[in-house]
Amino acid sequence: MISKDLFLEQFYVILEKNNDKSLTWQTVYKDLDEWDSLVVLSIIVHFEQNFQLVISPQSLFDNDTFEDLYNSLIKS
């Protein structure tokens, strides 16, 4: 399983926020300006290819914060 810190770091990469440290565990990711269907697909592919972690579109829809998403994934 991917560590919690590494999980959040990957969203900086996917969302191209490398120099911006505004994402936190409590960030509601669906409220981000960058959030769209292409980002959802990028997240799914990125985590599956790099970490063999399957993130379904439904899990992205069902959760709100990065912490909620991470916790739901480690429970499954």
Q: pLDDT (tens digit, 9 = 90+) per residue, 6-24?
A: 999 999 999 988 777 889 9
Global model pTM greater than 0.95: no
From the centroid of its chain, how far is CA 26? Answer: 12
From the centroid of its chain, how far is CA 5? Answer: 12
The correct answer on CATH 1.10.1200.10 for the domain covering 4-75 is yes
Mean pLDDT of 32-41: 95
Return the percentage of the chain with pLDDT > 70, whole number: 100
Q: pLDDT (tens digit, 9 = 90+) per residue, 37-71?
A: 999 999 999 999 999 999 999 999 999 999 999 99
Domain definitions of the chain by residue range: 4-75
